[in-house]
Structure 1
Amino acid sequence: MNEAEHPGTDVEMNYTENAYLVNDTVTSFAWSNLEVIVQDRNTRAPLAILSNATGNVCAGEMLAILGPSGSGKTTLLNALAHRAAAANATTTGNILVNGHKVSLQDMRDLSTYVEQEDALIGSLTVRETVLFAAQLSLSHTVSRKEAFRRVDDLIAAFGLQAQTQTIVGTPIKKGLSGGQKKRLGVASRLVTNPKIIFLDEPTSGLDAALSLEVCTYIKEITRKNNLITIASIHQPSSTTFQQFDKLYLLSGGQTCYFGRVTGATSYFSRIGYTIPAETNSADFFIDLINTDLDKNGDICRRTIHICEAWKTSLDSRELDTALQKSMEGTSSYRDLKAPRSLSWRTPIILVRRSWIKSHRDVMAYGIRIAMYLGLAILMGTVFLRLKTEQSYIQPLINAIFFGGAFMSFMAVAYVPAFLEDLNTFRQERANGLVTPLSFMIANFIIGLPFLFIISLLFSVITYWMSNFRPSASAFFTWVLWLFLDLVAAESLVVLVSSIFNIFVVALATTAFANGLWMCVNGFLVPMGILNPFWKYVFHYIDYQAYVFQGMMVNEFGRRKYSCDEISDGQYQCNYPSDLNSIGKIRGTDVLRQFSIKTGEEGTWIGILIGIVAGYRLLAYIVLVLRK
């Protein structure tokens, strides 16, 4: 077993046949009188989207939350996991572990949540995916040695041994199948040693065979390790449905049935709804209460009857009595696991993972490098071999503007890669594995070497082709300004994408912001005549302005240009200078036309660093506020 198979590990890994063992201290998970209230959009009155939900699941059991679209499946699942059940919702009721109430932190320590949309990183292999999940959990509830032992056992338990070195899959390179991705998503969450698993639509997007495959593996893990598994599910096949032990049937946030899957058919027969022969029972139950298909009110009346029948049924009363007894004499939750404490190692682990993604996935930086190289060739061939004559002064200024402004504008290409990272962060944070600070630190660090490489490659091509000031110090100063430009531009992308985490909105907003910075950076309209509003409100916080000024000083601060000779000893100079009499123009006189002073480069660099820090700090605050 070599380092390539286990990146970033410094502990010897010994795998045993029964390494994945879960302490069976959680014997039951229950909830009673659970209610979720939101504000009606039209009337502004309180509206219950989940009412009087009650149920229980024991260790080793799987519960299916079933119902038509909009019935409240995900709302109930989120409420049980102590997540926000819905936007601006108020959740009330009791959630119990072994008969004791639990808090949000308790639930994070005990459970894991696998969302409908996976947060897998496409360029990682199967083993790396589970391994990094193990590393992130080391500082929480699992010892280092134990966590690494579990990696191969989990991969084997979910039937992924043959795919251990297969990447998950990217838009460019094919990897795992849909069913394998679902299994990997669950496996990577189980490495944190949860007692309770919440699954949101684990079979969505899969055909009947793959759905059965995924649920079979989950059931085997649940039974073998005495876990509690609760899954929302939509229209399962008959064989998939039979993998579950208990059923929670919902319609419009109301309970229609809770109990054993095997007892559901007889229960509905008792209240007057007999399932026809050779009919998928899951489909039959959903069709009974699917009010979306109601044309004349029959289904709505039938659903009301089914919900009322449940409230008065013997099964419901027995469930309420059992839960009431389990709550008597208990008021608080006793610790079943040590509390999680996030580690200083988390940013390092995230940097390692991001490094693998960045150099494998061409979508992250490869396409951007190719794009910038194309832009460099374009700029170098258009602004080719510019001379130190006054007729070339304006093209030189144009080239400086183009090199800085358009390089930063093209940072919009980073939006999709960051949104993918953000989605992974959001799901890992919800499971208590990553904090906004560790995510922001890792994201900032991993981008620096790539942005420097981009700056250097672009400059090697354009600087000498365009014939900017020919000295090593001037060249590396240009590289520095371009590097700071790209760091600021990428930080802007991070901020905007953190606020607007929808691709089209983030892309459009970032493009607009860069267009604004171009307009007020001092090139298109010199500072001397720029409208005071744009000057004092936006110019001084425009990172492109300081890059433009720095590049201008780098080119014109120590260079002279020749005027046009109109006759012997007579010159026509377009820029006033004390050297006009000898047919020369000082570069500093060109700078004066743009109200740019020399000797302030250090201040500008400090301001640029402050702008970068400001963007990152604001992005961090946004992530903190979006709990």
Structure 2
Amino acid sequence: MESPKFDVEAQIQSSSSGSSCENREALADYTAGPGASLHVSSLNYFVKRHKTSKSGCLGCCSSTKKNGYSLVEGIDDADKPILRNVSLHLQPGGMLAILGNSGSGKTSLLDCIAQRTVWGSRQTGTIYVDHRPLTTALFRARGAYVMQDDTLLPFLTVRETLSYVLRLRLACSEQDHEAKIDQVIQDLGLRAVQSSVVGGTDVRGISGGERRRVSIAVQLLVEPGLLLLDEPTSGLDSHTAHHLVVMLSQLAASKRHTVVLTIHQPRSDMFHVFDQIMILSRGDTTYCGPANQLVDYFTALGYPCPAYTNPLDEYVDVCSIDTRRTGTMQTSMATVQELAQAFKQSDLAQRITNALPEPDSLSTGSVEVVRDRSPTWISKVFTMASRMNMNLLRARTGMQMRAFQMLLFGVLLFIFILRLKNDQRSIQDRSGVFYQVISAPLFIGMLTAVALFPTLRSSMSREVRDGLYYTPVFMLGYLVHILPFTLFSSVLLSSAFYWATGFANSAMAFVGFSLVVIATQFVGEAIALIMLALFHDANMANSVSALVFSFTALLCSGFLRNIDSMPKVLQDFTYMGVQKYASEILVAHEYPGLTFTCDDVNSTSPVPCRYLSGDAYLAANFPNAVNDLQRNYYCLVGYCVGLYAIAMILFSLRSYVKRR
């Protein structure tokens, strides 16, 4: 059965005038048609070897074998083969199960089909979808990839999860929106849990099998012709796993989705569910053909299936390499090589070769994901902000961190300081308070981001690769999400703490104090985002951010050491810290016009009378604070904008590398 060819450009032009989901899908006939045909021809996939040395010495080289491959340690110029000469053919609406032991190349094959190979890898051979050479745009138009790990926001309900994803994917009427969600929920048997929160590792929610079905439902919203699933039964009990595979088989049969999945340790009653079975071993194909011919094929090669034995387990074991001992490894490697060679010469392999499209039958028209079927980027920004807000509002701990952590800091600081006076001791009190005001919000912003952002980062990474949006759009959505909480918590702290402590009785001084708190908290979160872009490990990002904040606070604030007394090199470095500008804003509003009293020389433990006025203190410690006030405000805004822009650029680069 040959897949029909479509005039894609004509479809695009004819769909631009509608407003419903059906009218606005410029590739409507193309994407919502029957399951896609899949042809893979002579696919080879290589990744770069890493420099290794068992002795630990740099440059030491020794010849060895690892996992059956000959390599020279310390040399990284040889590519490691992951897939070797893999070919397959799958008709529209078919279901292919890819089996093999760990390291056989199952996930790598799906990654190649989904155009998600790792950075620095090399791929040869050809892949066709609907008789078209596969591109990233074509896969996004015709395919979907359900990866092994679920990256769902834990505090959204099942229906909300699907609703937000659909709003990011398609611009359609509310009626069509709800109809699509109802259909997917019905197809995947999620109606009973559609109002339950998804849950996660630390959040009680739906079961693991239901959560896996939600991940599949997210991809089925656009009715993909080709559905790839990486070990969808991983972590599920045998009954739930069987039910999930049967459901996928029914989807392939009724909705004409073409389904390709990897599976680990399938039950024997799954044997007849699959249309096609592929067995890989170390990147070589040892079988690829109809499921009902599997036993006969291996029996003819001298490997009959014992009675009461699961054929899938039996032949995966036959095609596995036993690495426990050198002798058994060599024997099993020789067996696998014989099986791979036998398959290349078999009628099954010849049928696959004959089914591959001829060059003159290929369609060369370009297929691009049409932008007018997708919401505008502004709409996506606010949709993502709404989704983040909904998830946060139900997360009690996260909500408390965002809204009230700053207020708690202010209460503790007030208990320590109480009411400021105008004696010589109050100068030190003010310096201590200002040092905390420019330091603590940085740490609070950082800790909040490190605690809450990694979950969103995982979701972003998956959805960017799925083509829902670009990274800058996500980062703008995150900005819209955090700004109200940052403003609320900072103003709440300032309103309660500033007047209670007795700072300068001036509206401008209060505004300046509030802006400093807002900016430093935002800068702390922005720097944490930069570290989370550079380091995947949140603990590492936390440690590096804390080190940066501690060093810059010591160096740049001017409260612990007079900046003019530092070596010239360190003085120049102070301009790199936001604390310099924040501290000068605070003292420029607080000290002018203040008069300080001196202790009676006959009193117990009198404090030396160093400054009789706030102006004298400024002249000695912050001589340019008042004159540079406007510049300091500009620098504060520049830090906020610049650091967040750097975070956006780094995450964009990170996404680009992963897309490659």
Whether these two folds match at TM > 0.5 is yes
Partner of residue 429, structure 2: 395
Q: Of 586, 609, 613, which residue of structure 1 is paired with 2:641?
A: 613
Distance 1:26 1:101, change over 3 A: farther
Alignment of 1:40 with 2:49, yes or no, is: yes
Distance 1:57 1:588, change over 3 A: farther
For 1:434, give the aligned amino acid: Y
Are the counterparts in 1 of residues 45 and 121 from structure 2 also a CA contact under 8 Å? yes
1:155 Cα shift? Answer: 1.0
For 2:43, give the aligned amino acid: L
1:557 Cα shift? Answer: 3.0
Alignment of 1:378 with 2:412, yes or no, is: yes
Are the counterparts in 2 of residues 127 and 151 from structure 1 also a CA contact under 8 Å? yes
Q: Of 38, 45, 49, which residue of structure 2 is paired with 1:29?
A: 38
1:25 Cα shift? Answer: 4.8
The normalised TM-score by structure 2 is: 0.85
1:528 Cα shift? Answer: 1.0
Name the SS of the counterpart of 1:524 in structure 2.
coil
Whole-Å separation in 1 of the counterparts to 2:44 and 2:221: 32
1:188 Cα shift? Answer: 1.3
Partner of residue 200, structure 1: 230
Name the SS of the counterpart of 2:350 in structure 1.
helix
Whole-Å separation in 1 of the counterparts to 2:283 and 2:237: 27
Are the counterparts in 1 of residues 286 and 343 from structure 2 also a CA contact under 8 Å? yes
Q: Of 135, 153, 160, which residue of structure 2 is paired with 1:128?
A: 160
Aligned-residue sequence identity (percent) comes to 26
Name the SS of the counterpart of 1:624 in structure 2.
helix
Name whichever of 614-623 and 29-38 sits farther off.
614-623
For 2:569, give the aligned amino acid: F
Whole-Å separation in 1 of the counterparts to 2:561 and 2:245: 64
Gap runs ≥5 in structure 2:
1-18, 23-27, 51-72
For 2:584, give the aligned amino acid: Q
Alignment of 1:427 with 2:436, yes or no, is: no
Partner of residue 66, structure 2: none
Distance 1:171 1:452, change over 3 A: farther
Are the counterparts in 2 of residues 100 and 333 from structure 1 also a CA contact under 8 Å? yes
Distance 1:401 1:349, change over 3 A: same
Alignment of 1:101-500 (within 5 A): 101-139=133-171, 146-170=176-200, 173-295=203-325, 296=327, 297=329, 298-323=331-356, 326-334=357-365, 339-340=370-371, 343-344=376-377, 345-413=379-447, 414-500=449-535
1:171 Cα shift? Answer: 5.5
For 2:244, give the aligned amino acid: V
Are the counterparts in 2 of residues 38 and 49 from structure 1 also a CA contact under 8 Å? yes
Are the counterparts in 2 of residues 119 and 424 from structure 1 also a CA contact under 8 Å? yes
Gap runs ≥5 in structure 1:
1-10, 577-583
Partner of residue 125, structure 2: 93
Whole-Å separation in 1 of the counterparts to 2:643 and 2:538: 19
String of CA shifts for 1:486-509, please: whole Å, max 9, x gaps. Answer: 111111111111221222222222
For 2:49, give the aligned amino acid: D
Distance 1:596 1:509, change over 3 A: same
Are the counterparts in 2 of residues 365 and 450 from structure 1 also a CA contact under 8 Å? no
For 1:68, give the aligned amino acid: N
For 2:386, give the aligned amino acid: R
Partner of residue 72, structure 1: 105
Distance 1:338 1:171, change over 3 A: closer
Distance 1:244 1:506, change over 3 A: farther
Distance 1:29 1:145, change over 3 A: farther
Name whichever of 466-475 and 90-99 sits farther off.
466-475
1:596 Cα shift? Answer: 4.7
Aligned CA-pair RMSD: 2.7
1:175 Cα shift? Answer: 1.2
Q: Of 560, 566, 581, which residue of structure 2 is paired with 1:524?
A: 560
Partner of residue 571, structure 2: 535
1:22 Cα shift? Answer: 6.9
Name the SS of the counterpart of 1:95 in structure 2.
strand
Name whichever of 197-206 and 336-345 sits farther off.
336-345
Whole-Å separation in 1 of the counterparts to 2:29 and 2:593: 69
Whole-Å separation in 1 of the counterparts to 2:584 and 2:302: 81
Distance 1:419 1:72, change over 3 A: same
1:595 Cα shift? Answer: 4.4
For 2:382, give the aligned amino acid: I
For 1:91, give the aligned amino acid: Q
Report the number of matched residues: 598
Are the counterparts in 2 of residues 527 and 595 from structure 1 also a CA contact under 8 Å? no
The normalised TM-score by structure 1 is: 0.89
1:180 Cα shift? Answer: 0.6
Whole-Å separation in 2 of the counterparts to 1:304 and 1:367: 58
Distance 1:513 1:594, change over 3 A: same
String of CA shifts for 1:459-491, please: whole Å, max 9, x gaps. Answer: 244324433224444333211210111111111
Whole-Å separation in 2 of the counterparts to 1:64 and 1:124: 32
Alignment of 1:42-57 (within 5 A): 42=73, 43=75, 44-57=77-90
Whole-Å separation in 1 of the counterparts to 2:195 and 2:579: 44
1:426 Cα shift? Answer: 0.9
Whole-Å separation in 2 of the counterparts to 1:132 and 1:163: 17
For 1:50, give the aligned amino acid: L
